[in-house]
Structure 1
């Protein structure tokens, strides 16, 4: 840790020394992102922490999914492991539907997790090989994106034809293949793009075939709750992404997008064999067969109007559907051989229109962005229990009724450039209206709620290479269908779960200040934040006549605060190392508590830092990097008997080479020191007596290799 602190201190000294301002070299702060303002803007003009992971970063780190793509980003973690894969993303202590995820501006459905192992509708259906970037807005951003952006926003941007083509008429074709040792996955795919005149087209296909992600112990062949290895699964996926754009004339451009993702996972659940929740109810021969899919179709239109009301208009209409089917096979003493079939389908139709207008005055320029958003969702689950011994079936336990929901919003943002663009002020407001309608047969009433959010921030550029920023922003999250309408009367077993359609939206207020510097020797980003949350939805239980009655209520308040530092040094400028040698360091600290109980929040990540040393040859023909991730222990939980997460240090090695033109070979050795460790989020709610703690470990030493050839 002392070496890390020395590197950070050196970065600070270098970044704040006069020599850092002597150059206008391009840095990460000149990168263009979308999440900060809903339109393309340089990070340096955004008064908030915005992270961008490029397709090159994803490829260099040999990432096979979103979790691996984001693993080095401070303050961000991806949750979910085992049979159902990625569940959600945590940003600065906020997770689940409190973080909004979008693909090309299309909002994604939050994971549905009713608790039982038989059913999940997870966010495990994104193909990283289609992405040109992942952008993370690390704070409440509801004025930009509405509900669920309470704690932040993640935007997955897929590739366009222009990302693969040169100017003028051009064609591109590339093939890729790879292997990942942590889950024995083989990958094969291709991408093709063409521009002929005013027409651009693109097609990307990726196939993956592997098994479960290993736990640290990969040799335990036993069955039962003490099994140490991950349950075996065969997993394969297909993803097809197609796009076409046509430039009608100088003012109008239209585009079509189609994407289809499917994932199948099949395997024995050996850790459940022999499980006996009660006398006479023993599980044997347990297995699962899961099919998950996501498909979307979209149309978009851009109009360069240059009229009095707006200079530009971009609108898009998208339809998306997510489906999941889980077959849960087992044999029990009570029911014999059976299949608990669980299926769910959620579809969404989304319309978004965004107008842009620039107003120039003597001493300022205003970039206005305004528009509206409409989202219509349909949610439906179906459960059936099949009993093969008796050749009978019955409906499974009802959870959430078939429901519809609608979101309607209008928004306005003004980005003001002052003092010869040295000062940039960003102000925004948004009004959202939310409505949920359960099926009439449920007997539950409709829900209506709304929210008004605002943000105000500013950036001041002392020089071209040094700036500071500050921002106040608000966020909100409408209650989910699950939180409002999940109900179950099981009083014979001593509990009742009651629906509550009267829940109010959760709210947040965020304050952030930061400093950015870059120049000849490196760059620096320092941010500090304080987030205040209220109306948190929490389940409360009251015992009435020896029956536990549980209901969701707006009872919780919380605060989270912290600081993040990121620095990069060009070592060839600092210590005369070979040209292309660099060092990077990032540190993320966060703290916070439930304001009612004073206890630490389970979602708070422990102190985390990443230190990297790398080299890229000036000719970009080869390069390598070593990444060292250091995570402190987590021993403060809301439940005192929660298992502590021990601290750990993990070392990853990656390298790439281009032996001939257009051929790139990448290889990586991950967890090179073969460290046994747990990620804190995988131990939330775990007790010393909880079974399967060994199965929650991360993979030991493993390797990966990718080969890509572009024609």
Structure 2
């Protein structure tokens, strides 16, 4: 038996899928990369993958990654206030439990020491540069290594070929501008792409200028801890993305990518005015100046070799720097007016190489991928208090960062096989990976090196019962090497009574194993995906008290691998072309999703606070077949989270996060082929609501709960002209 697996035929088949009535408006099949690191029909992958493309982001007027994934089941991006979005949450675990990769470049770990003067998050991504976001749910370390404990988010920015004609010399130029009332911001984006002969280039520049994201209008506009409005900030950002690719010959292609992101924020922290932490520490004149930046440059080479060892090789070398500078100004009777400067920088060099080989056996077809990753990273903190007024004016004091400056090296090797049997009716995916990690504190004799490694594997299968119905199942492993914050975080309070937190460089990696099964139904009228999952986590790193008294009246704490947990749930996602299904006007469609998850700490039986409550989303839309106009009404409903849904950690009786339903309305119009106008009305009924993640750890009598609400009714408008 001869099995034919032609990529060109696959893509043509995808483009032609569905009835002639539906294909002009809808696409129910997709090609994904994140599930196997190679292009595959989504129906052939044994894992849940959500895809958000640039068209969806534009139609939803998504201005950041949180808004981009807002309609995806089981996925969110928590965060609010001065430091913004903290990181992706996939099925109940977030931040460093989810791997984030942009154009093949691993993003640095989030750093959150808990103080209100320092955060370092991976939110420096400009949505106007993005072509596609793929969300690979469940443990994914056999593909992506450490930090893919709960999943991986694979982001690709736009390439010249995404904007240019398929062949021949061509130029694309466009400008886009918009205004958004939630943060009173405007943006301007200019895009230029060109192909001349064998050279392709791309340049995208985006400028944003605005303010803080508003809370609901019912919050009190006062100073102090009861403040209900967001603290006022002026915020602006600039992002420049440049790419160039050269086709040396039919087998070799090289490329270079450079990107610079800068965000500046300056504002008043009115919510801290008059706050008395302890006698002598009443805070006034509170303000902040923040600078966040990210710089990267990559060189890549693709070689279509077609030799015995591999058909295709792509390797990439990248230098990445991510820097945060936070200055917090305040005045207290004991310190006078000061600037608490808290700076942090990540610098990494990354090498990635992937080899792909396809071959046929008598009864099967195989696509083998194998490769290597190597990353060096340096992390440095620079803390200093500058005294500007008062008895200490003109002096400064070096402050010790929560972790020592350190460098780390991690590398991994992997192999996987995407195998097709029984005339492609059965698809089996198997993968294996080894990772090694070492952290080395710099210029420190108090902290020793930390070493760890891990072997992870996965096995999944898809069975196509018919051309329209398939089922899948998989088991996969994940792990997370301890971060520098996990390994070396330390502090000791100055007060006679208090606590000591000791570093623990002997931590082991956190581990997970995930099980998932699901069904896919793909018809001319639409698509239905349903899945159930169970994820088991071991060696969770948590803070633990090791002594009541260190001899000086202080408690002693450290971090240890002490907790096991489980998260399980189910998800449903549908897309229907109503013209095909029920004879509605051509172009009408619905999207719907439902996500349920429950998590439990197996040591004490308590809930996991980062697990989202039951969430449902429904959208009814229309896209005029000629592309002239269209719109969508979307409703997101989230159940409440209260009582046993919270962990009651540290004796906190967590405030109830009330359920809510929010309606968004978006529309677009093309008065001419080159001009598109988009508009959106969000939270159309001015619902006052909170995201559950913003209430985690808060008690009912906590001050400033209104300051954690989401925006009330707001709107946005954009216009784009393509020359």
Shorter chain as normaliser: what TM range?
over 0.9
Whole-angstrom CA distance in 2 between matches of 1:517 and 1:156 = 27
SS of the residue corresponding to residue 501 of structure 1 reads: coil
**1:695–1:127: structure 2 CA closer, same or farther, 3 Å change rule?**
same
Is 1:253 aligned to 2:253, yes or no? yes
Give, in angstroms, the shift of residue 572 of structure 1. 1.5
Per-residue CA distance 1:506-527 (angstroms, 9 max, x = gap) = 0000000011111122210001
Structure 2 equivalent of residue 504 of structure 1: 508
Is contact 2:159–2:243 with CA below 8 Å preserved after alignment?
Answer: yes
Residue 514 of structure 1, aligned match among 510, 518, 523: 518
The answer to whether the 8 Å contact 2:656/2:700 transfers is no
What is the aligned partner in structure 2 of residue 655 from structure 1? 667
**Residue 432 of structure 1: how far off its partner (Å):** 0.1
Pairing 1:429-444 to 2, within 5 Å after superposition: 429-444=432-447
Residue 698 (structure 1) aligned to one of 701, 710, 719: 710
The Cα shift of 1:97 comes to 0.4
Structure 1 residue 218: Cα displacement = 6.7
Q: Which runs of 4+ in 1 moved over 3 A?
A: 20-29, 218-221
The CA deviation at 1:664 is 0.5
What aligned pairs does 1:635-674 form with structure 2 within 5 A after superposition? 635=642, 636-639=645-648, 641-674=653-686
- Residue correspondence of structure 1 range 517-536 to structure 2 within 5 A: 517-536=521-540
Question: Residue 21 and residue 352 in structure 1: after superposition, are their counterparts in 2 closer, same or farther (change >3 A)?
Answer: closer
Q: 1:457 aligns with which of 435, 446, 460?
A: 460
Aligned to 1:3: none
TM-score by length of 1: 0.96
Distance 1:74 1:432 in 2: 30
The whole-number CA distance in structure 2 between the counterparts of 1:28 and 1:474 is 32
Residues 651-695 of structure 1: CA distance to partner in whole angstroms, max 9, x if unpaired?
Answer: 000000101011100000000000000000111111123222110
- What pairs up with 1:346-357 in 2 under 5 angstroms? 346-357=346-357
Are residues 1:72 and 2:59 paired?
no
Shift of 1:575: 2.7
- Conserved? CA contact 1:331–1:338, under 8 Å: yes
Q: Which structure 2 residues correspond to residues 620-631 of structure 1 after superposition, within 5 A?
A: 620-631=627-638
Determine the structure 1 residue equivalent to 2:598.
Answer: 591
CA distance in 2, matches of 1:500, 1:239: 39
1:416 equivalenced with 2:419 (yes/no): yes
What CA deviation, in whole Å up to 9, does each residue of 1:344-384 have, x standing for no partner?
11011000010011121121011100011100000000001
Is 1:537 the counterpart of 2:549? The answer is: no
Partner of 1:237: 237
Cα-Cα RMSD: 1.4
Partner of 1:8: none
Taking the aligned partners of 1:191 and 1:21, their CA distance within structure 2 comes to 33
Distance in 2 of aligned mates of 1:22 and 1:326 = 55
Are the aligned partners of 2:219 and 2:706 in contact in 1 as well (CA < 8 Å)?
no
Q: 2-side partners of 1:159 and 1:148: how far apart?
A: 25
**Residues matched between the structures, number:** 692
Structure 2: gaps of 5 or more residues: 1-16
Distance 2:146 2:152 in 1: 10
- For residues 370 and 580 of structure 2, what CA distance do their matches in structure 1 show? 45
Task: Give the C-alpha shift of residue 105 in structure 1.
Answer: 1.2
Q: How does 1:6-155 map to 2 (within 5 A)?
A: 30-155=29-154
Q: What residue is the counterpart of 2:378 in the other structure?
A: 378
1:23–1:520 Cα contact (<8 Å) kept: no
**Shift of residue 587, structure 1, vs aligned partner:** 0.2
**Aligned partners of 1:22 and 1:519 also within 8 Å:** no
What is the CA distance between 1:22 and its match in structure 2? 8.4
The answer to whether the 8 A contact 2:47-2:516 is kept is: yes
Shift of 1:124: 2.2
Q: CA deviation at 1:493?
A: 3.7
The DSSP-based 3-state class of the residue aligned with 2:444 is helix
Decide whether the 8 Å contact of 2:21 with 2:580 is kept in 1.
no
Q: Which stretch shows the higher mean deviation, 24-33 or 414-423?
A: 24-33
Q: Quote the residue 2:187 is aligned against.
A: 187
TM-score (norm 2): 0.94
Tell me what 2:561 maps to: 554
Deviation at 1:442, TM superposition (A): 4.5
1:547 deviates by 1.5
Whether contact under 8 Å (1:74, 1:588) holds in the other structure is yes
Deviation at 1:489, TM superposition (A): 2.6
- Superposed CA deviations along residues 458-490 of structure 1, whole A, max 9, x for unmatched, are 111112221111100000000000010011233
Q: Any residues of structure 2 matched to 1:185-584 within 5 Å, and which?
A: 185-217=185-217, 220-389=220-389, 390-490=393-493, 492-541=496-545, 542-544=547-549, 545=551, 546-584=553-591
Partner Cα separation in structure 2 for residue 567 and residue 30 of structure 1? 12
Q: CA deviation at 1:29?
A: 5.3
